[in-house]
Amino acid sequence: MEYYAENEKTTYYDATNEILGCEHYQRSCKLLCPECVNFYTCHHCHDEKIHDHSLSLLKNNSSTKILCMNCNLIQSPSNSCFNCDNVFANYFCSVCNLYDDDINRNIYHCKDCGICRLGYGLGIDYYHCKGCNACISIDLKDNHKCILDTVRSDCPICGEYLFNSIKTVFFMKCGHSIHKKCFNKYVENFYKCPLCLKSIIDMENQFRILDHEISHQILPHPYSDWKCIVFCNDCTLKSSCKFHIIGLKCSNCGSYNT
């Protein structure tokens, strides 16, 4: 195997406190990429540096060798070093070759997804939805819209691939998925899904305010007689409504998301 001295370079999750790993994971080993035959601390580190192939898409059982960052021994994947007995991580998945030593990060393996997920586990805080082909919060088990492979796409805000992201994924009311942090920031200024334009937060109070403002602001002639044909992004139906500069209300569902 062609070998590079760069492979033995120790990397840190927290250099100040000498916690080994990378910005993505706490761990004391590196993974071998079978394509470029180099060791990287994790598949995210590899994909951020190498662009002609992806370790993320090949990572299940693809890293046939790992490198101990304590003694630099190259060995088969396991949770502890064959040479120095160094324990690589608190969490180890032999299916995904995933290592994580962050005791505050809960991880479980989903057989149907084929990868490890953030959470306490299936039946505890998540369940695998066959319709979405993804793990969904158990709170949404009977209260979400299924979109097949919704997480096998990029976050509509930051563009990161959602399926194997280490960030929490959130399912919007419309069924599309997004990073939870991206969602929280996005809804500070917008209420429509960036993909399908449906309302993704409760707009009942805001629409009621629009009703009040329109009723107290009568337009002069001829605008007061104008009619509009609008398409509603929420109910996906067309309807006729009175024109007003403040907003155009769907006659079917009462939404102003037109």
Q: From first to last of its 258 residues, what are the pLDDT tens digits of the chain? A: 445 555 778 998 999 999 999 999 999 999 998 888 889 999 889 888 888 888 876 655 467 899 999 999 999 999 999 999 999 999 999 998 899 999 999 999 999 998 999 999 999 999 999 999 999 899 888 888 899 999 999 999 999 999 988 898 999 999 999 999 999 999 999 999 999 999 999 999 999 999 999 999 999 999 999 999 999 999 999 999 999 999 999 999 999 999
73 within 8 A of 84, measured Cβ to Cβ: yes
134 within 8 A of 113, measured Cβ to Cβ: yes
140 within 8 A of 132, measured Cβ to Cβ: no
Sole residue written with tokens 């319709």:
131
Count of all residues that appear for the chain in the document: 258
What domains can be seen in the chain, in order of their start residue? 5-100 (no CATH), 107-186 (no CATH), 202-258 (2.20.28)
Give Cα separations from 247 to 19, 53, 68, 228, 256 (angstroms): 55, 49, 62, 11, 6
